[in-house]
Amino acid sequence: MSLENAPDDVKLAVDLIMLLEEHHIAPETVLRALEIVTRDFERKVKPASGTTE
């Protein structure tokens, strides 16, 4: 499968993997950072409920 025909999320994932590997970031550090990023973006996609967390 050609990357140019891949969905945007796959393209982004490949770009991120390449960036992290090129900078020799430890896998454990990457996973912890991705947990933080995931929480942040999950909050951004939640519908506004009118309450604060």
Provide the domain count of the chain: 1
Higher pLDDT, 52 or 6: 6
d(CA 39, CA 49): 17
At residue 1, the pLDDT reads: 61
Structural domain contains residue 52: no
Structural domain contains residue 26: yes
Structural domain contains residue 53: no
At residue 48, the pLDDT reads: 62
Dig out the tokens for 36 from the structure: 């933080």
Contact predicate 11/3, CB 8 Å: yes
**What average pLDDT does the structure give for the chain?**
90
Residue with tokens 């991705």: 34
Residue type, 8: D
Provide the residue range defining the domain that includes 7.
Answer: 3-45
Residue type, 7: P
